[in-house]
Amino acid sequence: MESPSKVDDEQWLAYWILYSFITLLEMLAEPVLYW
């Protein structure tokens, strides 16, 4: 992924890491919440 703006790349990377973390957290929490 090439972008003229380095800051833009870092923001996207942080966004995807956060999104993945939340998704993973939901997957782990689901069996506990709906048990």
Q: How confident is the model at residue 14 (pLDDT cuts 50, 70, 90)?
A: very high
Asked if the model's pLDDT at residue 2 lies above 70, the reply is no
Tokens of 2: 């090439």
Question: Region 7-29: what's the mean pLDDT?
Answer: 95
Q: Of all residues in the chain, what percent carry a pLDDT higher than 70?
A: 89
Helix segments in the chain, DSSP class H: 6-33
Nearby residues of 8 by Cβ (< 8 Å), 6 or more positions away: none
Average pLDDT for 19-34:
93
Predicted confidence band of residue 5 (pLDDT cuts 50, 70, 90): confident
Q: How far is CA 15 from CA 8, 24, 32, 33, in A?
A: 11, 14, 26, 26
Least Cα distance to 18 among 26, 6, 8 occurs for 26
